[in-house]
Amino acid sequence: MSAEQRDIELDRWSVDWQSAEADTTVSIDSIRRGFRRYTLSALGSWLVGLTMLLGTSVMAWREREPTLVAAAVAVWFFVAIAVAFDLHYRRGTWRLAGESTQDYVELARRQLIARLRGIRFGWGLLGAEALFFAFWIPWVASREPASSGQVYLESFGLLAILVTAFAVGLTVMRRRAQGELERLEQARQTLASPVGSA
């Protein structure tokens, strides 16, 4: 290879390296934003759970109606399971092992895997909750025979809307997390290559 060819090759490699470096910087910024979203999503889910506990507790204490007390106890049970699993699958997903790009990518990868596990669990929990309320609604209707038709219509209508909304939300979150995980896997391969690790 001539000196001129070597210079051309060196210039090309330099441009590629600088481009890779710029892309890495952008990736770290996006990963940091992902860390913030991850933390906010955890706090948000715990806040929603606490709100549901307080709301159903107040409702059950004021009304003292057996059906409402049963619904409140079921909500407490589901929230307790959800929070326990949330804490479990988020273990080891809060701290960086170091400050390198690889460390950022690895932590972001663990967070996305945890998020996907949480989404899979969310599908199971949604099914269990829907099943409970599918049996709970006829019980409520049986205690109000005069308006049982209206109770069925309103309650099952509301249940269908809520289940559909949560199902759509879980589907969107799964697709987004899966896409982010695929991009991170590509970033890991790039960083593992000689140019990426240079």
- CB-hemisphere CA count at 13 Å for 147? 6
Task: Determine the pLDDT at residue 165.
Answer: 93
Give yes or no for residue 95 having a pLDDT over 70. yes
C-alpha distances (whole Å) from 131 to each of 18, 121, 137, 160 are 56, 15, 10, 12
What is the mean pLDDT of the segment spanning 37-52? 83
Domain ranges of the chain: 3-40+81-192
Task: Determine the pLDDT at residue 191.
Answer: 67
Task: Determine the pLDDT at residue 28.
Answer: 66
In contact, 105 and 31? CB cutoff 8 Å: yes
Q: What is the average pLDDT score of the chain?
A: 78
- Would you place residue 45 in the very low, low, confident or very high pLDDT band (cuts 50, 70, 90)? confident
Task: Determine the pLDDT at residue 68.
Answer: 84
pLDDT digits (tens, 9 = 90+) for 12-40: 434 443 444 444 443 567 777 777 777 88
In order, the DSSP letters of 124-175 are HHHHHHHHHHHHHHHHHHHT-GGGHHHHHHHHHHHHHHHHHHHHHHHHHHHH
